[in-house]
Amino acid sequence: MRRAPLAAASFSRHTRPMRIALIHALRHSPPPIEAAFARLWPEAALMNLLDDSLSADLARDGAITPAMTERFLALSRYALGTGADAILFTCSAFGPCIEACAGALAPLPVLKPNEAMIAEAARAGRRIGLLASFAPTLESMPAEFPLGTTIVPVLAEGALAALDAGDAAAHDRLAAEAARELTDCDAIALAQFSLARAAPLVAAATGRPVLTTPDSAVRALRARLGA
């Protein structure tokens, strides 16, 4: 007797690992999020999509354009076509583009890189230090925090350039030095996935709790999918 195609498809979907599409606009983002999944949800099957020209174009243009949103939509639709169970974007400077993708692909879970960390930060206190290595993030991200939260934004000047040049130690040192301006905050939120590697030095330099986007995102995504 032939097996019903629908039953076979259902069996396959429920027995395979959850596929999570990771969409990146910075080439340094994959390692920290992959490390977070390895620690917190090793059973997930990851697939990576990278278009680092998006971050270059945003830095050049100084604002999100309709063309950028269309590029995000194209990436998210491609991810959906691979059978992704959820999409996690990893660049926090493109909030409006990600919101457009979430609306277009509903009810598929589509997460901003920072939304889970913002929720954790809001529970940590009312004065949050926001440390970024990509300047446009400091223009878009503070508005995403709940009303009543005081955001103290600081740019780690030169940190991203150091990472681009392959000097990870200098990146971490510059992040920790910049974070010293945030010692009066209840907690420090690291805005970029690539900043997660500097979390131990930032914590040591400030004595404050440090939240990273990769760990927060994986915890939230796993809970949302019930895995």
Structure tokens at 137: 């993030």
Give tens-digit pLDDT for 105-128: 999 999 999 999 999 999 999 999
Q: Is the pLDDT of residue 3 over 70?
A: no
The C-alpha atoms of residue 212 and residue 199 are separated, in whole angstroms, by: 7
Q: Which domains does the chain have, with CATH numbers?
A: 5-113+215-225 (3.40.50.1860), 115-212 (3.40.50.1860)
Rounded mean pLDDT, 206-216: 96
Residue % of the chain over a pLDDT of 90: 83
pLDDT at res. 206: 98
Q: Rounded to whole angstroms, how far apart are CA atoms 217 and 191?
A: 12
The answer to whether residues 199 and 98 touch, using CB atoms and an 8 Å cutoff, is no
Mean pLDDT, the chain, rounded, equals 91
> Given this model, what pLDDT does residue 14 score?
52
Reference 58, options 115, 16, 97; nearest CA is 97
Summarize pLDDT for 11-35 with one digit per residue, the tens.
344 578 999 999 999 888 899 999 9
Can you say how many angstroms the Cα of residue 98 is from the centroid of all Cα atoms in its chain?
11
Reported pTM? 0.80
- pLDDT (0 to 100) of residue 15: 72
How confident is the model at residue 11, as a pLDDT?
34
Q: How many CB atoms lie within 10 A of CB 85?
A: 19
What's the rounded mean pLDDT across residues 57-85?
Answer: 96
Per-residue pLDDT tens for 152-165?
999 999 999 999 99
Give 160-184 pLDDT, tens digit per residue: 999 999 999 999 999 999 999 999 9
Q: What percent of the chain lies above the pLDDT cut of 70?
A: 94
In sequence order, what DSSP letters do the residues of 80-126 get, joined into one string? HHTT-SEEEE--TT-HHHHHHHHHHHTTS-EE-SSHHHHHHHHHH-S
User: Does residue 9 carry a pLDDT above 80?
Assistant: no
Q: CA 36, CA 55: separation in Å to the nearest integer?
A: 22
Q: How far apart are CA 220 and CA 227, in angstroms?
A: 11
